[in-house]
């Protein structure tokens, strides 16, 4: 750890050892604890292999489907979760809700509008679900 004072280095190493994240196998040699990381990975929810959920991880978009029909199904689900039928939302409200799914809210909002799953008023002041949207 170049550039770190010896006292800070010692405290950091002591904390890593105390937490069980690293183990000292031989003097001066630390290794990552396989057990701790294996247990953490085992606690993670399994990634679904079918449907829109396979493009989400912990509820957030990890990738957009290349297949247009699959992308539409993913976006339909999100649209139904971020807005209720008849609800009018400002752009800021839409963005805040879309943050639950992605950091790139502009791209997601654009996809929702382009697929006709979210309508923008002519003035651009609000968004709503189209009248024929039946929910997720």
Predicted model pTM: 0.64
| Three-state SS at 103 | coil
pLDDT digits (tens, 9 = 90+) for 11-50: 888 888 888 888 888 877 888 877 877 887 777 766 657 7
**Beta bridge pairs of residue 22:** 32
Long-range pairs of 90-98 with CB within 8 A, sequence gap ≥ 24: 90/125, 90/126, 90/127, 91/124, 91/125, 91/126, 91/127, 94/118, 94/127
Query: CB under 8 Å to 43, separation ≥6 — which residues?
Result: none
pLDDT tens track for 45-55:
666 577 898 99
Contact 126, 90 (CB under 8 A): yes
Residues 25, 29: Cα–Cα separation, whole Å: 6
- pLDDT, tens digit, 9 for 90 and up, residues 43-98: 776 665 778 989 998 889 999 999 999 999 999 999 999 999 999 999 999 999 99
Asked if 110 and 56 count as a contact pair (C-beta separation under 8 A), the reply is: no
Does residue 135 register a pLDDT over 60?
no
């Amino acid at each position: 750890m170049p550039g770190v004072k010896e006292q800070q280095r010692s405290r950091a190493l002591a904390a890593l050892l105390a937490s069980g994240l690293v183990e000292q196998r031989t003097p001066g040699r630390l290794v990552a604890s396989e057990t701790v990381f294996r247990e953490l990975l085992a606690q993670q929810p399994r990634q679904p292999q079918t449907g829109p959920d396979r493009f989400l991880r912990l509820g957030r978009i990890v990738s957009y489907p290349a297949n247009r029909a699959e992308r539409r199904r993913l976006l339909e689900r999100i649209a139904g979760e971020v807005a209720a039928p008849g609800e009018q939302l400002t752009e800021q409200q839409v963005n805040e809700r879309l943050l639950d799914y992605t950091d790139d809210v502009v791209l997601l909002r654009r996809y929702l509008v382009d697929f006709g799953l979210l309508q923008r008023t002519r003035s651009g002041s609000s968004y709503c679900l189209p009248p024929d949207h039946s929910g997720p």
